[in-house]
Amino acid sequence: MQGPATWANESTLAKHFADHGADFGAQSAEEYSQMSSNFLRESQAHGLATNIDSEGVIRIYDPETNTFGAYNADGLTKTFFKPTRGIDYWIDQQEKGFAPWEPTK
């Protein structure tokens, strides 16, 4: 399957879409991938909770929608989903990196 240029590892996109696409109402893997890219872009405009680890992996969480995304330093998506553990999942992720700024939300 040829995925869009917003997903880091095209070979994982189909599985991620099958596992999480319905959480976002995505009708295709391409739409799901674009939603993940939009989340990254919009998260920074809205000041969502963000952390970055020593390898440059960017992790973002929106507690209002329970949405989590992880991205390579170049902005390509690694994963995008709604964690079953909600905010507790995000708290665990915070230990993996540092907050480059304080969330405004």
Structural domain includes residue 101: no
Q: What is the CATH number of the domain that holds 61?
A: 3.10.450
- 40-63 residues labelled b (16+ CB within 10 A) or e (exposed): beebeeeebbbbbeeeebbbbbbe
pLDDT exceeds cutoff 70 at 4: no
Q: Where are the alpha helices (DSSP H) in 21-61?
A: 29-46
What's the mean pLDDT when you consider all of the chain? 88
Q: Considering the domain boundaries, does residue 21 fall inside one?
A: yes
Average the pLDDT over 97-101 and give the result: 62
pLDDT tens for 38-56 read 999 999 889 899 999 888 9
Query: Does 85 score more than 70 pLDDT?
Result: yes
- Say how many domains are in the chain: 1
Q: State the residue for tokens 């099958």.
A: 18
Mean predicted confidence (pLDDT) in 74-86: 95
Write out the residue range of the structural domain in which residue 33 sits. Answer: 10-94
Residue 58 is assigned to a structural domain of this protein: yes
Q: Is residue 5 part of a domain?
A: no
| Mean pLDDT of the 63-87 span | 95
Mean predicted confidence (pLDDT) in 10-24: 95
